[in-house]
Amino acid sequence: MDTFLEMQEARSQSMTAAAAEAPAPQIDQYLHDYVLGPADVVSLSLTGIDAPTATMEIRARVDDTGQIDLPLAGKVEVGGMSESEAEHSIKSAFVPGVVKQLTVHLEVLSFDTTDVVVSGAVTAPGLVSLRRTERNALYAMLAAGGVSDLASGKVTIRRARRSGPDVVYDLTDTLQFEAALAEEPLQDGDRVIAEAAPPNTVYVGGLLNNPRPQAYPTGVKVTLLQAIAAAGGLREDVLPREGTLIRRLPDVTDVHVKLNLRRVQSGEDPNITMAAGDILWVPETLETRFIDFLNRNIFIRAGVSVNYNVTGLEYLNRKSLQMRRFGGAGGNLADSFDPLGFLSRNAALNQIVGSPGLNP
C-alpha cells in the first residue's frame, strides 16, 4: 500500500510540474468576432448621402477578392474585417470625398458556411453548418448540441479531402485545446468524432455477499469501502481479512496492491479511491478455507456440545442414534412410531383391496 501511494504521488507531482512549465496558451487569437469574407451577403444602412437625415438601404455580396461594390464609392475592401471594422472602411470610402458626414450600419444577412459531420459522444450528432470563423472541432461540437455525459474529452478530426492519419486532441489539456483551435480550418465533408469515455466500471469479486461489476456515471468517484458496501459487504461466515487491488496504468502494465481490509475499515490504512477499470478481489486464504470447513462440517450449539452432521441415510441405518433420539434401547423407526403395527397392517390391507380382480 505504501509503495502504491508513493507511486501515485510521484505521478501527480510530475503532471503538475509539466503543466507549470508549459507556456501560457494564446486562446484569444482563435476566439474573436466574425470576419467577413467571400460569399457573405451584407445589408448596409447609409444615412447622410442624399440628405443629412435620409437613409439609403443597400444589399451587397462580398466577392472573391473580399470587396463589395457600392454606388458613388466603387469597390470597398471588407474581407477579413469584423462588422465594426467594415463599417469604418465603408465610411472612409465616402467621407470626405463623396459626402462630409455619413452614418454607416452593417449587418450580415447570410454567411458562407461549411458543412461537417459530427458523431460520437455529442447531444445531437449529425451534419452541422459552420461559419467562417467557426471551422474547428470546438465549434463543431457546440453546433451538435455540445458533448454528452459520456464524453472523454478527446476529439478526432478525420479529413475527407486529403489522405493521412486522423488527428486526435485531448481537449481537457490546455495546450492540446489550443492546438485543436489552431488546426487547419475544417472543409466540407470533414468529420469530427467526440470520443466516449471508457465505462466507469469497477469489478468486485471474491468473498463478498454480492460480487459483481459496479457501473457508475462518468466522473463519479467511488472509494474502496464504498465498493465493498455496494457488493453487500464482506462474507461474515468466513471472516476475510485480505484483498487485492489490480489497477492498469497508462503504460498498459498492471499493479497489484495487497490490502489489509480490517485496517482500512478501522481507518489505520487509507480508504483509497477506485479508478475506472479497477479490480478489487477478496481471495480465499488458508484461514478462510479452514473457517469454511468448520462451517460445513461442525455445528457448535449453545456452547455445550459438538454434534457431527450426518446424512439422512446414515441416520436411518444407525440404530443407536435412533434409539437415543426416541428413548429406546433398540429397534428401528417403525418400532418408535408404530409399536403396535397398525400402520403396517393398514398398508397391507390397502394393497390387498386395491389388487385387480378382487371385489370388496
pLDDT tens across 202-232, in order?
A: 999 999 999 999 998 877 889 999 999 999 9
Query: Which pLDDT does position 14 carry in this prediction?
Result: 61
Q: Is position 231 within any domain?
A: yes
Query: Would you say residue 6 lies in a domain?
Result: no
Distance CA 234, CA 206 (A): 9
Give the residue-averaged pLDDT of 18-22: 48
Pick the residue with more confidence: 342 or 240?
240
Q: What angle do CA 182, 186, 189 make, to 5 degrees?
A: 160
Pair 118, 188 in one domain: yes
Mean pLDDT of 240-263: 90
- Residues 92 and 60 reside in one and the same domain: yes
In a domain, residue 1? The reply is no
| Over residues 47-72, mean pLDDT | 89
Give pLDDT, residue 223.
Answer: 93
Same domain, 207 and 309: yes
Whether residue 185 sits in one domain with residue 158 = yes
Distance CA 190, CA 111 (A): 19
- Residue written as cell 465498493? 227
Torsion of CA 327, 329, 330, 332, to 10 degrees: 0
**126 and 187 fall within a common domain:** yes
Given 171, 196, 221, the domain boundary residue is 196
Q: Are residues 104 and 187 in the same domain?
A: no
Q: What is the CATH number of the domain that holds 182?
A: 3.10.560.10
State the average pLDDT over residues 238-267: 90
16, pLDDT greater than 80: no
Q: Of the residues 55, 83, 110, which one is the last residue of a structural domain?
A: 110
Residues in the chain: 360
- pLDDT value of residue 305: 47
User: DSSP secondary-structure letter at 215?
Assistant: E
What burial class does residue 256 get, using C-beta atoms within 10 Å of its C-beta: 0-12 exposed, 13-18 middle, 19+ buried?
Answer: exposed
352 within some domain: no
Same domain? 208 vs 99: no
Q: Express each pLDDT in 99-148 by its tens digit.
A: 888 999 999 999 989 999 999 999 999 999 999 888 999 999 999 999 98
Q: Which residue has the higher pLDDT, 252 or 8?
A: 252
**Among candidate residues 80, 110, 140, the one where a domain is terminated:** 110
288 occurs within a structural domain: yes
Q: Is 169 exposed, middle or buried (0-12, 13-18, 19+ CB in 10 A)?
A: buried
319 with 202, same domain: the answer is: yes
First to last CA, the chain: 86
Of the candidates 353, 326, 324, the residue with the CA atom closest to the CA atom of residue 334: 326
112 Rama sector, left if φ>0, alpha if ψ -120 to 50, beta otherwise: beta
The domain containing residue 323 runs over which residues? 198-332
Residues 223 and 309 in one domain: yes
d(CA 210, CA 136): 48
225 and 283 share one domain: yes
If asked whether residues 299 and 283 sit together in one domain, one would say yes
Residue 153 lies in a domain: yes
The total domain count for the chain is: 3
- Classify residue 32 by burial, with Cβ atoms within 10 Å: 0-12, 13-18, 19+: exposed
Average pLDDT, the chain: 81
Q: Please check the confidence at residue 351 and state whether its pLDDT lies above 60.
A: no
136 located within any domain: yes
Q: 114 versus 329: which is more confidently predicted?
A: 114
Q: Given pLDDT bands bounded at 50, 70 and 90, which one contains residue 26?
A: low
- As a whole number, mean pLDDT of residues 299-303 equals 48
CB atoms inside a 10 Å sphere around CB 116: 26
For residue 338, being part of any structural domain is answered with no
Same domain, 229 and 283: yes
